[in-house]
């Protein structure tokens, strides 16, 4: 009888789904800044809500590449060697590094503007293979409309970006298309590392009527440098992510990145419960918020209309 019970227990263990004790979620980001940190925290929160708790079975790993693509590749190889259940790369550079490093381990990327353009998946609806994720493709048409509404006299938009970030190249193409429709010119300025952000922003003074900072990890990591130039020149500065408004942008229409992280975490949970990543469509993150900064607007010579104030999800005083 005892042998029968032991055999039954062993057979049951073989068919039971993996417990939290059996899973490792490895998260990596190209750099640490508020938006990407919020994504990481949102992923962890979604895991907790699904019953996967760090210290109670779940092993949660996190590494930042500190803005270095070479380091991102090293982290990707390190994670693959540790064979986690799921790898969650945050941002396009980190996602590209991880996807290049493994075809076996499940990958759920997030905060990637153009997953197809970045060659992470061939098709958003049918990603196939071991990869899926959440896109944060910016609502660029809405951004241009906001710029026109808040600064109606603007004729040109200065765009500061890193040409090595595929997401920014895609955003630039979309911005040029939408700006042309609105009768606006786009003036580019490049910074390939955070130390160049101030100079790249200063290069737009006298050339552009407003500045638009996309969800570019290089630029956002040194966002205060761009803000300092904009305030000194009284040049209105808009951001592609709402977390940058607290840091000095006058306005942004974008995602709540903690919510983006939670949406990503929900996909991770589906994978942990047995779904194949390649069978889960890549989705664009849901929800956009309008966040404005009155103090920054004053410093940049802008006054918000009552219509804009009434639509704002949050107002930074």
Q: How many CB atoms lie within 10 A of CB 243?
A: 24
- CA dist 140 and 254 (Å) reads 10
The dihedral over CA atoms of 32, 249, 256, 282, expressed in degrees to the nearest 10, equals -70
pTM here is 0.78
User: Quick check: 201 pLDDT over 80?
Assistant: yes
Q: How do residues 237-290 score in pLDDT, each as one tens digit? A: 999 989 899 999 999 998 889 999 999 999 999 999 999 999 999 999 988 899
By percentage, how much of the chain surpasses pLDDT 70? 93
Bridge-partner residues for 131, per DSSP? 107
Q: How do strand 251-254 and strand 289-293 relate by DSSP bridges?
A: antiparallel
Question: What burial class does residue 12 get, using C-beta atoms within 10 Å of its C-beta: 0-12 exposed, 13-18 middle, 19+ buried?
Answer: exposed
Contact predicate 131/277, CB 8 Å: yes
The pair of three-digit structure tokens given for residue 101, joined into one six-digit string = 């490093």
Per-residue model confidence as pLDDT tens digits over 8-55? 444 444 334 444 448 999 999 999 988 899 999 999 999 999 999 998
Distance between CA atoms of residues 28 and 88, nearest Å = 6
The radius of gyration computed from the CA coordinates of the chain, to the nearest angstrom, equals: 22
Residue 127 has pLDDT above 80, yes or no: yes
Instruction: Give the separation between CA 259 and CA 264, rounded to whole angstroms.
Output: 8
d(CA 298, CA 81): 52
């Amino acid at each position: 009888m005892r042998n029968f019970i032991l055999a039954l227990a062993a057979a049951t263990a073989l068919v039971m789904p993996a417990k939290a004790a059996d899973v490792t979620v490895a998260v990596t980001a190209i750099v640490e800044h508020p938006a990407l940190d919020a994504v990481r925290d949102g992923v962890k929160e979604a895991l907790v809500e699904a019953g996967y708790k760090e210290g109670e079975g779940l092993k949660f790993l996190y590494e930042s590449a500190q803005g270095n693509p070479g380091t991102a590749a090293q982290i990707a190889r390190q994670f693959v060697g540790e064979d986690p259940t799921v790898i969650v790369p945050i941002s396009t550079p980190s996602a590209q590094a991880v996807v290049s490093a493994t075809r076996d381990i499940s990958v759920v990327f997030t905060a990637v503007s153009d997953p197809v353009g970045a060659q992470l998946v061939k098709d958003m609806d049918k990603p196939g293979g071991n990869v899926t994720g959440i896109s944060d493709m910016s609502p660029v048409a809405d951004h241009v409309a906001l710029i026109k509404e808040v600064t109606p006299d603007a004729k040109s938009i200065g765009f500061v970006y890193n040409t090595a970030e595929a997401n920014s190249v895609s955003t630039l193409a979309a911005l040029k298309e939408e700006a042309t429709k609105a009768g606006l010119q786009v003036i580019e300025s490049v910074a390939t590392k955070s130390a160049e952000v101030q100079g790249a922003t200063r290069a737009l003074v006298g050339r552009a009527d407003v500045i638009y900072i996309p969800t570019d990890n290089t630029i956002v990591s040194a966002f205060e440098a761009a803000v300092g130039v904009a305030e000194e020149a009284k040049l209105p500065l808009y951001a592609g992510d709402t977390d940058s408004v607290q840091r000095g942008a006058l306005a942004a229409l974008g995602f709540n990145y903690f919510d983006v992280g939670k949406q990503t975490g929900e996909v991770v949970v589906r994978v942990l419960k047995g779904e194949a990543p390649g069978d889960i469509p890549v989705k664009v993150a849901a929800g956009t918020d309008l966040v404005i900064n009155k103090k920054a607007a004053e410093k940049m010579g802008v006054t918000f209309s009552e219509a804009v104030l009434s639509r704002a999800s949050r107002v930074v005083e």
